[in-house]
Amino acid sequence: MVPADQGRLTLDLGLVGDWRGVVRAGKTRRQISLIEAGDWQAAIAELAARPDADPAAIAALAGSWQLRRANLLVEGLDLPQRAGAVIRIGRTARVAITVECDPCTRMDEIAPGLQAALRPDWRGGALARVVEEGDIRVGDPIIIEE
């Protein structure tokens, strides 16, 4: 994962530069992945509360949401937890939630227990498909439309 301050969402490619967003026959659920900053922090707090927690490792994780391998980190917004919900990002880009983004076993390779900490209440984020193209930037408004 390479953090970036801006990007472009397209109907065919998802987030330009992320091969997982390319539309392939029958595969349109995962063009873009989103995670809430608060959910990431809640998962990290759950790990920190474990008796075997390594404080230094937990502190390093707190600011490393990109390890979740999500495309976008959103703050100050509760992502809709339902397929079909439409979110506008910036001036023109729009995405439709398709499904919950279930955390994979790779999360436990990052930190033991992280996969379980990301499971409750869509903490692992949401997957979406692009319904309207547009440029996006860090700090853009994100609005739930439907």
Q: Model confidence at 27, in pLDDT bands (50, 70, 90)?
A: low
In the predicted model, is pLDDT for residue 59 greater than 70? Answer: yes
The predicted model scores a pTM of 0.88
With residue 73 as reference, give the H or E element that holds it: strand 72-74
Which pLDDT band holds residue 84 (cuts at 50, 70, 90)?
very high
The mean per-residue pLDDT over the stretch 43-61 comes to: 89
Per-residue model confidence (pLDDT) at position 28: 67
Give SS3 for 60: helix
**The predicted structure's pLDDT at residue 18:** 82
Residue 129 three-state SS = strand
Say whether pLDDT at 3 is over 80. no
pLDDT digits (tens, 9 = 90+) for 113-130: 999 999 999 999 999 999
Domains of the chain: 6-144 (2.40.33.20)
Write the burial class of residue 44 (CB in 10 Å: 0-12 exposed, 13-18 middle, 19+ buried).
Answer: buried
- Give the CA distances from residue 125 to residues 25, 34, 56, in Å, rounded to whole numbers and listed in that order: 24, 5, 25
How many whole angstroms separate alpha carbon 90 and alpha carbon 128? 16
